[in-house]
A and B are shown apart, each in its own frame.
Chain A
Amino acid sequence: MLKKLTRFYHPKTIEEACLFLGNAEHKTAILAGGTSEVLRQDNSIEALVDISNVKELNCIGKDSVYYRIGAGTPIQDIYKSKLLSGPSGDLLKTAAGKIGSTLLRNSITAGGNLAGLFPWSDMPVVYLALDAEVVCRKGKPKRTVPVQNVIEKRPAQFLASAEIIAEIALPIYSKGTGTSFAKFAKTANDYAMITLATRISLKGGKIDQARIAVNAITASPVRCLEAEKLLVGQKPTDELIAAAAAKAADSISIRKDFRASREYRKEVFEVMVRRALTESLEKAGK
């Protein structure tokens, strides 16, 4: 792998990183923890821009509206974070803790898990469920876009040349919102067969916002929009949740491999959605 690789760049700032990435002399790629580069086995890359020394990419911050997570922050730091709390923080930490192992979590990063965007990537569903925004930087200029847009166009196509994902901004939800994360895999370390994040926000006893975001069972992270629509504006009942779970299971196109059949995954998925929505609701009501 990486047969044509001849050199590494070690920028200290985002501007420097973008400059190296934009160097037209050779084919460059960005390197954070490196786990996806190893999987991708791309033999055309000639230079790697290692962003692990860019301090501004490695931080977890908070303002009045958002948690701001630097794209190069290891997932382990999210899992162990003392700053993250409440419905958004719980979801982030629970999901982060269920990714791979301690050793892998120290390599996998918040931005890399989105930029790599494999079918089994766990964090993108969390970003979708929380309506996250992605801050992209091309040197100094920056743009902030909904994570949905980045995922729909695929990050590799969405980002301009020499543009990088710099930060994930996650809205801080407070009382009246509940979240839940669930993952279905053969072992804790194996690729997920289903990874699911849900969020319910209540207003006046009715469901104001609902998010059901899923990956791994699908080829790319998606929201189950029809099922969400079924929930919004309604008073939450067990029947409603069961109907939404059934709708969610019917609305996605299911991937399969040697681990399990489509039929089996579909059945498991419906139960997982039902339980996740129930848990989200319980937490929202507290």
Chain B
Amino acid sequence: MKLNTRINGKDFSLEIKPNAMLVDVLRQAGFKGVKFGCGEGSCGACAVMINGKPRNSCITVAGSVEGAEILTVEGMGTPGKPHILQQAFVDAGSTQCGYCNPGSLIAAKALLDSNPNPTADDVKDALDGNLCRCTGYVKRIDAVLNAAEAAKKTKKSTRGKK
């Protein structure tokens, strides 16, 4: 079966099994940043943005994203030019084994996209589906709040240049 979808701003036409799950399809297409964790929608390691909404790709049937716009962590930034959230995660030390980070970053991006001024409670609420067994859930809250601040500053400075 053919699946036509847009991943990180590029059009793809993938040959898939009809009963394939999105997480497997994305990883086979080379997007290894999408992690397979629990496989039952509990841990959030596999989170990707589907049409702007973060969802668990391990319980999403791949055929249902026909024509959809998908964003994985690879689409957020690169090692040379990290996304503001990725940099904030590094700076706050919100990364140890790193397995949850791709999913957490996607969920955090979804929050900042809809709410540029989040409170700590907003961050907790938005990341409630992303388990992290290393960092203890405090540092990533700092990271997202710092990223929100940093994003506001960059906006101001670019506006100033204009």
Contacts and interface: CB of A to CB of B under 8 A. Distances in A.
Interface of A: 1-3, 5-8, 10, 31, 33-35, 37-38, 48, 50, 52-53, 74, 76, 100-104, 106-107, 188-189
Nearest to A53: B67
A266 to B, nearest CB: 28
A35 B66 contact: no
B63 interface: yes
B1 interface: yes
B55 A103 contact: yes
B151 interface: no
Contacts of A53: 67
Given A7-B1, A34-B61, A106 B54 contact: yes
Interface in B79-131: 103, 107, 110, 125-130
Contact of B55 (A8, A31, A48, A107): A107
State the main secondary structure of chain A at its contact with B. loop
Contact of B64 (A31, A74, A188): A31
A103 B66 contact: no
A30 B127 CA distance: 29
B59 A8 contact: no
B19 interface: yes
A107 B18 contact: no
B128 A34 contact: no
Given A10-B66, A102-B128, A31 B61 contact: yes
B139 interface: no
A35 B57 CA distance: 11
Given A102-B127, A107-B41, 6 more contacts: A1-B19, A2-B18, A10-B66, A37-B61, A74-B53, A102-B107
Q: Which 7 A-B pairs have the closest CB atoms?
A: A101-B129, A103-B129, A2-B19, A8-B63, A5-B18, A106-B53, A38-B59
Given A3-B19, A189-B129, A103 B64 contact: no
B47 interface: yes
Contacts of B47: 103
Nearest to A52: B64
A107 B129 contact: no
Contacts, number: 82
A33 to B, nearest CB: 8
Given A50-B66, A100-B129, A101-B44, A107 B19 contact: no
B12 to A, nearest CB: 16
A74 B130 CA distance: 19
Contacts of A189: 42, 128-129
11 contacts: A6-B18, A35-B41, A38-B59, A50-B64, A102-B125, A102-B129, A106-B54, A106-B55, A107-B59, A107-B60, A189-B42
B72 interface: no
A104 B53 contact: no
Nearest to B47: A103
Contact of B18 (A8, A37, A38): A8
A103 B54 contact: yes
Contacts of B107: 102-103
Contacts of A188: 128
B18 A7 contact: yes
A106 to B, nearest CB: 4
Contacts of B125: 102
Q: Which of B44, B64, B110, B130 has its CB near the most chain A CB atoms (within 10 A)?
A: B64
Given A101-B44, A189-B42, A5 B64 contact: no
